[in-house]
Structure 1
Amino acid sequence: MITPKIISKGILRALASIVLVTLLLYFFYQIQAVLIYLIVALILTLIGYPILDFFMKRLKFNNTFATIATVFIFVVTISGFIMMFIPLILNQGANLSLLNTAEIEKSTIQLVNQITVFLENHHIDSSQMLKEVDLSSKLNFDLIPNFLNALLGTLSSFGMGLASVLFITFFLLKDRRSFLITARKLIPDNHEDQVLNSIEKINKLLSRYFIGLVIQLFIVFILYLIILLIFGIPNAIVIAFLCAVLNVIPYIGPLIASILAAILTMLANLGTDFQSEILPTTIYVLIGFWIVQIIDNNLSQPIIFSKSVSSHPLEIFLVILIAGFLFGVLGMIIAVPLFTILKVVAKEFFPENKAIQLLTKNI
């Protein structure tokens, strides 16, 4: 029989749970920087496992020296990247971010006027439409300098985060066996084999995925840079870098990158004739970017998404689409790794299910 005392205890228990969850979420919010360091360190650890195995199995290094050598490769690679690209990015990014907002607005209005003249010369009356829209009052011209200033601020505090990430990565690589032993003690005996097999498969698949993703972004960056340099676009390195990073967002990222490149190309050529200079150059840059996307979509992405995580391209497309609708851009970015983890766990714990057998037949 349900008594008032039982009801009151249930209410108190529910309130205590809500308070506990709220405090836990608040705690995670306060240490979000540490959580980001952990996630990045885990990604580096997954990328580093094949390198570590190479040093231990092929070169016969012991665990400590193999770990030091792996982290050293990370340090050299990141340092080389910084020395080669970051000074140029900071220099060119500063040039863009220090632009006066009023100057950006003036340049944009000038560009719109040139487009209007071009359309009128082709018997398209758009001046009245542009006046009614009142573009200058609706665009936020602080967006570009604010974004670039935020990027520069992030790069300036990069050192401390990098040191923390490398420190965490070192111990995740070095003491991975200790972590597995600890995990064995915490895992119930009847599920130990399933959990350990899941961890091993997830580690293998995600290692291949993240290594492939880094290679893909580097290839896209180089191709974007070549196109921008061919057409003499100022700030080519920072534009190519930003557009390549946007490719992390599946499907939508390349579209945003193309729009960003087109806008910056037009602004870079401002002052020249729209019909003979600005429009053709912008079209050529867009065609170049689309060719890069065709190469990426038909070469790089199928290799990474299909072969590295053993999933069909249509399957990956639907997963990314659903994740995008549910969780936005962040969902699209983490969709493939998370889906891979869920597939591996499902195969280990529910191997007899026919739907799971169909989805995980290549794992």
Structure 2
Amino acid sequence: MNSNTIAKGIVKAVAIILAIVLALYALYLIRSVIAYILIAAVVSLIGRPIVIFLEQRLKFKKTIAAVLTMAILLGFVLGLVSLFIPLVIKQSENLALLDINKLEQNVSTLYNEALNYFNLRNIDLSESFKESGLLSKVNIAVIPELLNGFISGLGSFSVGLFSVLFISFFFLKDSKLFENGLLTFVPDSKTIGTRTSILKIKGLLSRYFNGLLLQITILFIIYTVVLLIFGINNAVVIAFLCALLNLIPYVGPIISAILLVLLSMSSNLGENFQEVILPTTIKVFIGFIIAQLVDNFFSQPFIFSKSVKSHPLEIFLIIIIGGLLFGILGMIIAVPSYTALKVVLKEFLSDYTVVQKLTRNVE
């Protein structure tokens, strides 16, 4: 090997590394667009059963079916926005008029009643809380600024929403558009296998995301009924937030439980602890447990058996690994990502024993 060959090899290696770096940098610059495309792909998977129903059962044309599906999904999003914006504005106004001294007195009273009820009088945290003056340090004046920031952020949200809806429409109208886009980066020799994998992934993930939608809906209904029965303020919004938090595996239900307990107690702030606050909170918590039992013994087995087709321990380990690598986002996307990976492995590496064992339930 002469020096000329070595020099060419070095130049080629440097060129490849430089090309990879530039490609990664380009992807970083257009990360928002990539996010829009991925979100639109998820939206199209959720809307796919609706389009199929409108096309095959009601005999609508693809364009009309896609338009109606987008109208349904958009109506759902607008309903959520219309639900939260008035609440945020109202709560901001309430905070701006908040009497800190009265709030501190109510919290202190609630705390003392809780200590007396549970016989924890030796723990004198109440005085420390008063001396710290934490509530008096809360700057209520920043609330209007936060509200302005929230409203200005709606502009960016609107751009993102329009982009996602626009892309989603074409994904729904032409179900092979996303598929063909991916195939442009695949060698001709791998086209058939890749197309087969994409079709399987679309079917599995469509069932998975619609299963999650069913899961959230069931929890939302149960939480709403429970909170309305016991007169908790903003019951619908709290129920939706707690149901949505359930998308975070393992951690989400814990956060939901804490949120429900705290908001149930704060909803009755100023009432007698033993006669009103504690019984109401316990009843709400029992309702939460019932909702979780329904979720764990009905919703989740249905979702995982129909789409993921993996052992519960396998799912647990994948979620933990996803959380360690990418945090909460990793926990959320771990299951669908792993499902897609299993399909690809079975299609291209099915000769390996470990792949055969991992993908034996994947059709």
TM-score range, shorter chain: 0.7 to 0.9
- Displacement after TM superposition at 1:222 (Å): 1.2
Q: Distance in 1 between matches of 2:307 and 2:98?
A: 47
- Flag the 1:230–1:275 CA change in 2: closer, same or farther, 3 A: same
- Displacement after TM superposition at 1:38 (Å): 1.4
TM-score, with normalisation over the residues of structure 1? 0.82
Residue 82 (1) aligns with residue 78 (2): yes
- Displacement after TM superposition at 1:179 (Å): 5.6
Within-5 A mapping of 1:54-69: 54-61=53-60, 65-69=61-65
Residue type of the partner of 1:36? A
Q: Distance in 1 between matches of 2:181 and 2:37?
A: 18
The answer to whether the 8 Å contact 1:115/1:274 transfers is: no
- Displacement after TM superposition at 1:58 (Å): 4.4
Residue type of the partner of 1:332? M
Aligned to 1:239: 238
Aligned to 1:92: 87
Residue type of the partner of 1:111? V
Aligned to 2:355: 356
Q: Distance in 2 between matches of 1:338 and 1:233?
A: 38
Aligned to 1:284: 283
The answer to whether the 8 Å contact 2:223/2:239 transfers is: yes
> 3-state DSSP class of the match of 1:331?
helix
The answer to whether the 8 Å contact 1:306/1:313 transfers is: no
Aligned to 1:70: 66
- Flag the 1:45–1:122 CA change in 2: closer, same or farther, 3 A: closer
Aligned to 1:119: 115
Q: How many residues align?
A: 357
Residue type of the partner of 1:283? I
- Range that drifts further, 30-39 or 286-295: 30-39
- Range that drifts further, 209-218 or 167-176: 167-176
Aligned to 1:212: 211
RMSD: 3.7
- Flag the 1:153–1:293 CA change in 2: closer, same or farther, 3 A: farther
- Displacement after TM superposition at 1:111 (Å): 2.3
The answer to whether the 8 Å contact 2:40/2:167 transfers is: yes
Q: Distance in 1 between matches of 2:151 and 2:219?
A: 22
Per-residue CA deviation, residues 166-216 of structure 1 (Å, 9 max, x unaligned), is 211122233444665565565323322221111111011001111111121
Per-residue CA deviation, residues 233-269 of structure 1 (Å, 9 max, x unaligned), is 1111111111111111111111101111111111111
- Displacement after TM superposition at 1:335 (Å): 0.5
Q: Distance in 2 between matches of 1:264 and 1:160?
A: 33
> 3-state DSSP class of the match of 2:124?
helix
- Flag the 1:329–1:270 CA change in 2: closer, same or farther, 3 A: same
Per-residue CA deviation, residues 81-123 of structure 1 (Å, 9 max, x unaligned), is 634x543432223323444389496536632442234323553
Per-residue CA deviation, residues 285-311 of structure 1 (Å, 9 max, x unaligned), is 111112101111111011112322222
Q: Distance in 2 between matches of 1:198 and 1:140?
A: 57
- Displacement after TM superposition at 1:78 (Å): 2.9
- Range that drifts further, 8-17 or 211-220: 8-17
Q: Distance in 2 between matches of 1:337 and 1:187?
A: 22
> 3-state DSSP class of the match of 2:164?
helix
Residue type of the partner of 1:346? L
Residue type of the partner of 1:78? L
Aligned to 1:314: 313
Q: Distance in 2 between matches of 1:248 and 1:60?
A: 35
Q: Distance in 2 between matches of 1:236 and 1:242?
A: 10
Aligned to 2:268: 269
Residue type of the partner of 2:286? I
The answer to whether the 8 Å contact 1:101/1:142 transfers is: no
- Flag the 1:335–1:80 CA change in 2: closer, same or farther, 3 A: closer
Q: Distance in 2 between matches of 1:158 and 1:213?
A: 23
- Displacement after TM superposition at 1:281 (Å): 1.0
Residue type of the partner of 1:200? L
Q: Distance in 2 between matches of 1:45 and 1:226?
A: 31
The answer to whether the 8 Å contact 1:68/1:170 transfers is: no
Q: Distance in 2 between matches of 1:118 and 1:125?
A: 9
Aligned to 1:49: 48
Unpaired stretches in structure 2, ≥5 consecutive residues: none
Within-5 A mapping of 1:140-159: 149=147, 158-159=157-158
Aligned to 2:336: 337
The answer to whether the 8 Å contact 1:262/1:286 transfers is: yes
Unpaired stretches in structure 1, ≥5 consecutive residues: none
> 3-state DSSP class of the match of 2:121?
coil
Q: Distance in 2 between matches of 1:232 and 1:320?
A: 36
- Flag the 1:48–1:76 CA change in 2: closer, same or farther, 3 A: closer
Per-residue CA deviation, residues 30-77 of structure 1 (Å, 9 max, x unaligned), is 54433332122101222233333344444555xxx2233133123134
Aligned to 2:161: 162
Aligned to 2:34: 35
TM-score, with normalisation over the residues of structure 2? 0.82
